[in-house]
Amino acid sequence: MLRYTEQYLLREVMGRKTEMIQTTPCVALLLLVGVAFAARSASAITDGLLPNGNFEEAPDKSQMNGTRVTGRYAIPQWEISGFVEYIGSGQKQGDMLLPVPEGAYAVRLGNEASIQQRLTLTRGMHYSVTFSAARTCAQSELLNITITPESGEVPIQTVYTSSGWDSYSWAFKAKHSVVLFIVHNPGVSDDEACGPLIDSFAIKTLQPPQRTKGNMLKNGGFEEGPYIFPNTSWGVLVPPMDEDDYSPLSPWTILSTTKSVKYIDAAHYAVPGGARAVELVSGMETAMVQEVSTVPGRSYRLEFSVGDAGDGCSGSLTVQAYASRGRVKVTYQSQGTGGYKRGLLEFTATEKRTRVVFVSMAYTSKSDGTLCGPVIDDASLVSVRSHRRFLLYSEYREYFLSQRQLMRRKTEMVRSTCCVVLLLLLSVAARSASAIMDGLLPNGNFEEAPDKSQLNGTRVTGRYAIPQWEISGFVEYIGSGQMQGDMLLPVPEGSYAVRLGNEASIQQRLTLTRGMHYSVTFSAARTCAQSEILNITITPEIGEVPIQTVYTSSGWDSYSWAFKARRSDVSLIVHNPGVTDDAACGPLIDSFAIKTLQSPPSTQDNLLKNGGFEEGPYIFPNTSWGVLVPPMDEDDYSPLSPWTIMGYTKSVKYVDAAHYAVPGGARAVELVAGMEAALVQEVCTVPGRSYRLEFSFGDAGDGCLGSMSVQAYVSHGSVKVPYESQGTGGYKRGVLEFTATDKRTRVVFVSMAYTMKPDGTLCGPVVDDASVVGVHSHRRLLLEPEVGSSRELATREKVARYDWERASRRGTALLARRLGCSGRFSRLLPNGNFEDGPDKSQLNGTVVTGRYAIPNWEISGFVEYIESGHREQDMILPVPEGARAVRLGNDATIRQRLSVTRRAYYSITFSAARTCAQKEKLNVSVTPEFGVLPIQTVYTSSGWDSYSWAFRAKHSVVWLSIHNTGEEEDPACGPLIDSIAIKNLYPPRRTKGNMLRNGDLEEGPYIFPDATWGVLVPPIFEDEHSPLPGWMIMSDTKVIKYVDSPHHTVPQGARAVELVAGRETALEQEVATVPGRSYRLSFSVGDAGNGCKDSLAVEAYAARATAKVPYESQGTGGHKRAQLEFAAVANLTRVVFQSFNYHTKPDGTLCGPLVDDISLVSVRKRAARL
């Protein structure tokens, strides 16, 4: 009977399998089509050396000065910048021989030098770049690697070979089909030639790793990895990274600060299995990690091979493996000749995602002194299922019936693949929404202690010793009441905390809901007297939290930091960057919590969002000191959204009704930093309309006695509200009526004085229940007429009447939103010429003392308000474009809030003049974009130049900031700034009869109508954000000049470009061409009529053709036409213009030839007659 039943049930099961197989051809066909498409797209670039990647194609001798390469395009297939040398194997540097082991030639990058090549890739694919490098000096070195727009740093300080050469890998995802690959040496040394040698660049397409049957780990055999040069015997170093998205060894992540692992091959090493493996060459400083999906409570088995690479690395090699709460240490006695053993770890999963970690437990070196270590290979992870025995017929029958049901479900799933995938996505989304709960993180208070075997006194020795956390560097586990010298270290929120030494960090992996906003709250205390900050990272966001100022008598404060989750799996990293003589002199950290921040809704009776401050960061229920909200530039990620805290190092305190006297509701804000921090929110308003701001103002009942006052600013109005505090709680209401002058109005609250409690800690007034409403009594039914057509006015009137009827029922907030808050400009910014000056009460001589003293601007640091003709010792400071300007001292900033159109392109133009002899530069930023503008070279006799900088608006409201980074003995020795303007840039389109975009150069930055010196366009390597759309400016620090016909002689139209920096700057544009087809480049060359008398010449390059066009200038204007015919050799051809030499005017200022009216056309040859 049993045998008969077995046969019957087996037939049933096999029948179901057959049905499932019969339904799969369509799915298989789709998969084959997908694979074929992927294979086709992957053919954009071939794995292996880049064109002239080993530099064996040498530059022409005419473009060499000794070993230095003098021509930007001298090295075939490459473009260089800065001090670059072409080094032959065996060349000597002093007493040192420079070897080139992978050929006959290499290049050396000096200080700030770079080398780059254009690559054609498949957009969306992952790639790995491999290159070899050697240090030639003893300094610490790193290389910046860029594949536009991605960039990263590769440390090359540690040498892993006796020859001094190592191969490095770096991975990326292609965001564009054509990218720039740039290698840059940022080093600064007394010897400008003291830079690394670079050789042998290769690229490899990384295929997405797949799970195989019998292994939950992807790429467990390490067969998929970076390109390894076949003729090198040292493998490839895989540098540290935080995310496995762009790992050269995907999906394995290398966790470290500066150290790497080595990727090796069977051709040169002993590999346990297959053709590739990983050697852990950096001891405990590096871990190799992969995360897998697991089922909590289920058992798993991790197996792996540990051995030596047969490279002479002898001794006791030990690997520690971690998974969930299990760990195993596998020791292998190496003879250095190859061999391995298997390691095994069984564990029970505790989470839905489990991290598998391999770490070498000691440093090992070979006989030549180079680092080596154990080899890891053939890692596999499988689920361990319990063994069944056929004891009872009922169990046996139940097993087969379950298989039958399983086959039926599988068949149905294949038949309705799309529906199942949709349901799966919805299920994942629903599960991810509850990924993390508000409150303490797992072991967020560190009460789960490390094992005593992983403690050396208070120091934690194991990377994963603290449950749920991973550490790096000098980390201590501190018990409450522990003594440090004569100082008692309290832990007020439990029994234990951690202390982070210099460069130490602690991190935890979090599962979040992608796209949601979160706030992290943690407590910290300083243990030494130095200034301290903490770096907080939620990959890829990073920020600094200053903890220098202490606001409690215990020394402990709670801090908050907000972010938007860019991924569902992220790492929370807290890092102490401090450097002191005492490595243990770092902050105490305790009690990490997280909270999901809900978007504050708009209400009908309040234009302000979150006016009652009820939505904010997590507050620990057992602490009585509230939570500090640090300063930030953008309210996008504010823990108190949409309120922004404006300051540099000072914070405001978020308090709750459980521990403080709160005017209304459960939360409020205490202004504890005096005038150093402001609470700000912007609202949409209608210019000319009246509004009323109301708010509550009092004390927090925390013993803060004395006279307090809050100043509220809105539009051009302000009100100062005093309050006599008894320190026991209480409040009063403040009111400010104002008329809006713009579409966006800033509401600002500032405490007007510092206040302290009897214990000496800072305190201040409480602000709560803030509201802004329209004042209906002052409204008119229709908007005031503006200049425009009758149809436009009628349309506005109709829309306004409709909106008014709705607003009367639902409040004025709706009307403000309806009218919108974005703008487009091509003019001076509000008070952009600084003619509207500060009140005399906010000036100390020329120094501006109030943060908001200059109308429409906000300042920080040492800022002076300078009038034209002001004398500084024996020097007169001119202001040629008006009567007033500002001067920025060391680390001073001036900024203004702008309403722009999101995703539109803009150019900023401003004028600046140096007032001292030092090198100067200005940082210009429009959040989140920024750039550095060199202002060292002066191009006018007055000392004033106008500069331009372009950006694409990422937000509708942005900050424009101009910052002086200089550090001088005289803090006032900074640049003068005047006349700041903005202009919309329209992406240029190709016109009929011209393949070049913006060939007539008519589209460019704003030019001040009263300035005669044009506008300088700084170096820009991507034309996407160029002030001269379509064109790139290639240089290190030099510029070109954009000139106009009212002040210069222009060959055609109203605008042109003057090449004022000799051979140090090139004007370039890339255009799509057909290889083998002929083209004609036409352009005008002349002088700008500005007194530039000389033999001017312009060199033009296109494909492999060049043309030198001379022009004899009398300095009075004029031009000539020139042509260059060439045959394209690639799909993209670069058109380049460069001045052949430097030129100066009689007043000693730089000038040069003019270029204009540039066109490119295809030249078709006539067919021969038969």
pLDDT tens figures, 1033-1058: 887 778 899 999 999 999 999 999 99
Name the E strands within 450-568: 455-456, 459-460, 470-472, 475-479, 482-484, 487-489, 496-500, 505-511, 517-525, 533-538, 541-546, 556-564
Name which of 513, 354, 352 is nearest 432 in CA terms: 513
Residue 251 has pLDDT above 80, yes or no: yes
Please answer whether residues 377 and 222 qualify as being in contact, where contact means their C-beta atoms are separated by less than 8 angstroms: yes
CB atoms within 10 A of CB 32: 10
**CA 945 – CA 1039 distance, rounded (Å):** 12
CA distance 520 to 516: 13
Is the pLDDT at 266 greater than 80? The verdict is yes
Residue 812 has pLDDT above 90, yes or no: no
Of 384, 542, 510, 527, nearest to 437 by C-alpha is: 510
Q: Are 772 and 747 in contact (CB under 8 A)?
A: yes
Average pLDDT over residues 575-587: 71
User: Averaged over 1057-1067, what is the pLDDT?
Assistant: 89
Instruction: Evaluate whether 1091 touches 1146 at the Cβ level (below 8 Å).
Output: yes
SS3 797: helix
Q: Is 136 in contact with 196 (CB distance < 8 Å)? A: yes
Instruction: With beta carbons less than 8 A apart as the criterion, state whether 372 and 316 touch.
Output: no
Decide if pLDDT at 995 tops 80: yes
pLDDT of residue 44: 61
Q: Poorest-confidence range of 76-80, 818-822, 992-996?
A: 818-822
pLDDT of residue 303: 96
Q: Quote the pLDDT of residue 148.
A: 81
Integer Cα distance of 155 and 149 in angstroms: 20
| pLDDT at residue 5 is higher than 50 | no
pLDDT tens digit sequence for 691-747: 999 999 999 999 999 899 999 999 878 898 999 999 999 999 999 999 998 888 889
Q: Give me the domains of the chain, ranges plus CATH numbers.
A: 1-44+386-415 (no CATH), 46-206 (2.60.120.260), 432-597 (2.60.120.260), 780-821 (no CATH), 828-1162 (2.60.120.260)
What SS3 class is residue 404?
A: helix
**For residue 485, is pLDDT > 70?**
no
In this predicted model, what pLDDT tens digit does every residue of 351-362 receive, in sequence order?
999 999 999 988
Count other C-beta atoms under 10 Å from residue 324's C-beta.
18
Closest CA to 1027 of 1128, 1119, 926: 926
With 0-12 CB in 10 A as exposed, 13-18 as middle and 19+ as buried, what is 116? middle
CA distances from 564 to 513, 559, 1035 (A): 10, 17, 36
517-525 and 905-913: which strand pairing?
Answer: unpaired
Q: Which residues contact 656 (CB under 8 A, 6 or more apart)?
A: 619, 626, 662, 666, 667
Task: Residue 588: name the closest of 509, 673, 495 by CA.
Answer: 495
Quick one: pLDDT band at residue 20, thresholds 50, 70, 90? very low
What pLDDT was estimated at residue 403?
53
User: How confident is residue 1085, by pLDDT bands cut at 50, 70 and 90?
Assistant: very high
Amino acid symbol at 292: V
Dihedrals φ, ψ of 26, to 5°?
-65, -40
Residues sharing a CB contact under 8 Å with residue 737, sequence separation 6 or more, in sequence order:
690, 691, 692, 693, 717, 775
Q: How much is the pLDDT for 231?
A: 86
Write the burial class of residue 1063 (CB in 10 Å: 0-12 exposed, 13-18 middle, 19+ buried).
middle
pLDDT score recorded for residue 527: 74
Q: How much of the chain exceeds pLDDT 90, in percent?
A: 42
Torsion of CA 867, 873, 876, 878, to 10 degrees: -40
Provide the pLDDT for residue 189.
56
Q: What is the mean pLDDT of residues 401-411?
A: 52
Question: How deeply is 382 buried, as exposed, middle or buried, from its count of CB atoms within 10 A (0-12, 13-18, 19+)?
Answer: middle
**What confidence score (pLDDT) does residue 717 get?**
83
Closest CA to 527 of 559, 483, 560, 496: 483
Asked whether 185 and 155 are in contact (CB, 8 A), the reply is no
Answer with the residue of higher pLDDT: 988 or 1082: 1082
- Which backbone phi and psi does 1067 adopt, to 5 degrees? -100, 125
pLDDT tens readout for residues 170-179? 999 898 888 9
Q: What SS3 class is residue 12?
A: helix
Exposed/middle/buried for residue 1016 (C-beta within 10 Å: 0-12, 13-18, 19+): buried
- Cα separation, 953 vs 904, in Å, equals 6
- Confidence check: pLDDT of 156 > 60: yes
Backbone angles phi, psi at 686, to 5 degrees: -110, 120
Q: Cα separation of 436 and 433, whole Å? A: 8
How much is the mean pLDDT over the chain?
A: 81
pLDDT of the residue at 882? 67
65-81 pLDDT, tens per residue? 988 999 999 999 999 99
Task: Of 128-132, 481-485, 639-643, give the lowest mean pLDDT range.
Answer: 481-485
* pLDDT bucket at 486, cuts 50 / 70 / 90: low
* CA proximity to 172, closest of 114, 231, 123: 123
CA distances from 293 to 211, 214, 579, 1039 (A): 12, 15, 39, 54
Query: Which amino acid appears at position 21 of this protein?
Result: I
Identify whether the C-beta of residue 381 lies closer than 8 Å to the C-beta of residue 353. no
How does pLDDT run across 407-432, given as a tens digit for each residue? 555 545 545 444 444 444 444 443 34
Predicted confidence (pLDDT) per residue in 24-70, tens digit: 444 444 444 343 444 444 446 788 999 999 999 999 999 999 889 99
Judged by average pLDDT, the poorest of 90-99, 798-807, 990-999 is 798-807
The pLDDT assigned to 604 comes to 74
User: What are the tens digits of pLDDT across the range 753-811?
Assistant: 888 888 878 899 999 999 999 986 433 333 333 333 333 434 443 444 444 344 333 33
Distance between alpha carbon 176 and the CA centroid of its chain, in Å?
Answer: 18
The better pLDDT of the pair 394, 67 is held by 67
d(CA 533, CA 528): 12
pLDDT reported for residue 547: 83
Higher-confidence position of 406 and 895:
895
What spatial distance separates the first Cα and last Cα of the chain, rounded to whole Å? Answer: 94
Given strand 717-726, what is the order of strands in its sheet? 644-646, 678-684, 744-751, 705-714, 717-726
Residue 617: is its pLDDT beyond 90?
yes
Q: Which residue has the higher pLDDT, 1063 or 593?
A: 593
Give phi and psi for 39, each to the nearest 5: -65, -40
Rounded Cα distance, 140 and 135, in Å: 9
Find out whether 402 and 341 touch, Cβ atoms under 8 Å: no
Say how many C-beta atoms besides its own lie within 10 A of residue 469's C-beta: 25
CB atoms inside a 10 Å sphere around CB 548: 11
Q: Give Cβ neighbours of residue 1045 (< 8 Å, ≥ 6 apart).
A: 1053, 1054, 1055
Out of 262-266, 788-792, 838-842, pick the least confident. Answer: 788-792
CA angle 1061, 1065, 1066 (to 5 degrees): 130
- Would you tell me how many other CB atoms lie within 10 Å of the CB of residue 346? 13
Query: What pLDDT score does 946 carry?
Result: 92
- Which residue, 739, 922, 750, is CA-closest to 853? 750
Helix (H) or strand (E) holding 286: none
The answer to whether 202 and 50 have CB atoms below 8 angstroms apart is: yes
Q: What is the mean pLDDT of residues 275-285?
A: 90
